[in-house]
Structure formats: C-alpha cells, structure tokens
Amino acid sequence: MTDSNTQAPHWPALKPVETGIRGKCPRCGQGALFKGLLSLRESCDHCGLDYGFADPADGPAFFVICFGCVPAVVVALMIEILFTPPFWVHLVTSLPFLLLTCTLPLRPLKGWLVCSQFFYKAREARQIGWHVPER
C-alpha cells in the first residue's frame, strides 16, 4: 500500500498476536517470518523488512517450560503416584503428551515475541548521558 503524495510505503499497524502466531511478517502480514521450524529469515520476502531487530532470546522456551512442561510432568507424576503403571504406559501416555506440549507452542510463541518487538519498537537499552558518580 503506498501513499499517493509521497510514494513511500505505508504499512498499517498489525496486531502481533495475529501475525506472530501465523508466522507472518510483522510489517506487511504477508511474507514468511520463518525459513525452518524455528529459524528466522533474514528479511521478509514480500515487503523486504530486515529481521535483524528480532531477538526473542529464551522467551519462547521460558513460556513453554512454565505453561507446557511443568503441567506435563505433573500429569506424569500423578499417573505414577496414583496408578503405579508399568514403564511402557509412560512411553505411550506421558512421553507423547510431554513432546506435544513442549514442541508445538515454540514456533507460534517465537513469532508472537518477534512481532511484538517490531510492534512496540523494542530494542536493546542504551544509557545516554548517564554516569556513575565517583565515590
């Protein structure tokens, strides 16, 4: 979409949750954000936005551990304590449940965090004009 007066591209503000979960570019909402399962592309293949700003760090893993892994381990422990099943029961129930709750949410969460960084213009903190007084 271009502005008729300046011919500069004008991009509407897109909600990070909508673009991130779908793995789309935070600026145009069309281009792909990922080139693999969790690897970010260098730039958008539709609008050319450079993804160099994106640094979700350990955020997606933290959310998955808190809201996916911990409940899955609690369920596995409850099965063990309440029923004391043979080992193969955990292989059939607990292991798949743990793998699903740990791997499926990683990509949407990473996309959401990257798109949120773009939307809120988040960047590394800078200390300008600030100094520590001498003792």
Residue 87 lies in a domain: yes
Please, which contacts does 2-10 make with residues 24 or more away whose CB atoms are closer than 8 Å? 9/47
Predicted pLDDT at 131 = 67
Domain total in the chain: 1
| Average pLDDT over every residue of 51-58 | 92
Mean pLDDT value across the chain: 89
Question: Which domain, by its residues, includes 70?
Answer: 16-119
**3: pLDDT strictly greater than 50:** no
Residue 11 lies in a domain: no
**6: pLDDT strictly greater than 80:** no
> The pTM is what?
0.81
Quote the percentage of the chain above a pLDDT of 70: 90
Residue 134 lies in a domain: no
**96: pLDDT strictly greater than 90:** yes
